[in-house]
């Protein structure tokens, strides 16, 4: 093939790929302006979805859950694979691994940052003050904690509730990915800057990310403020409620029951 033919073939492939992305609802791509010294693997702009429903069905991008098992069996198998995890330095100070809680076939998954003191003590995510607020938010959506699944980017408490570090995320995120592949949710809510930035590979502030649909591994994702932030800034509850209303509208549109409505 001549250089010109090769270029034409590449151009055609690129056009087809862009058309495929557009059919999937992707309305923007990061500009290819990364230069040496910047972070080449972090997207400047995560994929924003024009219409979340277009990618509501998990795509081939969703990784296989352990052994291809889904639901409760998949989650159990992944928990077994995690074992008494010693993969990162958080092993030293944790009391309990905080794996996740709720419906193994949940249509909606909430992902937070990392366990705090109460979660470390009990082994259950979001049980402290921020967790109680999250429970109220879930109930206000016409759901219960048992209807959704709740988990975090990290499964062990960072000492003093410091921010998660890249090596800790690198070890832990594959398990979250596998959990999500086993649950096969129709939507994900990322709680707070940390979860949103981590799942979307973005540096954008949560104030800019929140309120729009993105995708994580083919699943529509809505970033919103973390309940702990709401405890400090109650005026932001209005924005969170607006974000959750978008999620509720989407649940209703897909015919997913909200039993406590």
Alpha helices in the chain (DSSP H): 3-23, 71-82, 117-122, 129-140, 166-183, 192-200, 206-209, 227-232, 237-253
Choice between 126 and 216, CB closer to ligand URA: 126
Choice between 62 and 157, CB closer to ligand URA: 157
Residue 90 touching ligand URA (CB under 6 A): no
Which stretch, 35-43, 125-133, 232-240, 244-252, contacts ligand URA (CB under 6 A)?
125-133
Q: Are 139 and 179 in contact (CB under 8 A)?
A: no
Residue 142 DSSP label: T
Find the shortest distance in angstroms from Cβ 194 to ligand URA. Answer: 7
DSSP element (H, E) containing 110: strand 108-112
Beta-bridge partner residues of 49: 26
Find the shortest distance in angstroms from Cβ 206 to ligand URA. Answer: 13
Residue 206 touching ligand URA (CB under 6 A): no
Choice between 128 and 220, CB closer to ligand URA: 128
Q: Which residue has the closest beta carbon to ligand URA? A: 112
Phi and psi (nearest 5°) for 135? -60, -45
Among 26, 56, 120, 126, binds ligand URA (CB under 6 A): 126
Smallest Cα–Cα separation from 185: which of 119, 259, 261, 251?
251
Q: Report the Cα 93 to chain-centroid distance in Å.
A: 25
Among 25, 100, 125, 164, binds ligand URA (CB under 6 A): 125
Tell me which residues touch ligand URA (CB under 6 A).
112-116, 119, 125-126, 128, 130-131, 152, 228
């Amino acid at each position: 093939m001549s250089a010109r033919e090769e270029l034409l073939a590449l151009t055609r492939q690129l056009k087809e790929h862009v058309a495929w992305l557009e059919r999937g609802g992707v309305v923007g791509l990061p500009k290819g302006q990364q230069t040496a010294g910047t972070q080449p693997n972090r997207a400047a702009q995560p994929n924003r979805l024009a219409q979340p429903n277009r990618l509501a069905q998990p795509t081939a991008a969703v990784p296989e859950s352990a052994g291809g098992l889904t639901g409760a069996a998949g989650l159990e198998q992944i928990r077994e694979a995690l074992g008494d995890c010693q993969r990162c330095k958080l092993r030293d100070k944790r009391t309990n691994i905080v794996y996740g809680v709720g419906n193994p076939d949940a249509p909606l998954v909430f992902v937070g940052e990392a366990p705090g003191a109460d979660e470390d003590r009990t082994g259950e995510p979001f049980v402290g003050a921020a967790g109680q607020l999250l429970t109220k938010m879930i109930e206000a959506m016409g759901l219960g904690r048992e209807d959704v699944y709740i988990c975090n980017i990290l499964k062990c408490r960072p000492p003093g509730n410091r921010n998660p570090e890249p090596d800790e995320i690198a070890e832990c995120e594959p398990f979250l990915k596998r959990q999500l592949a086993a649950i096969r949710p129709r939507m994900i809510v990322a709680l707070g800057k940390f979860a949103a930035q981590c799942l979307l590979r973005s540096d954008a502030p949560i104030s800019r990310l929140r309120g729009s649909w993105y995708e994580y591994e083919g699943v529509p994702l809505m970033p919103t403020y973390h309940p702990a932030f709401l405890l400090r800034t109650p005026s932001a509850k209005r924005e969170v409620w607006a974000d959750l209303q978008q999620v509720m509208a989407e649940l209703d549109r897909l015919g997913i029951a909200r039993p406590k409505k």
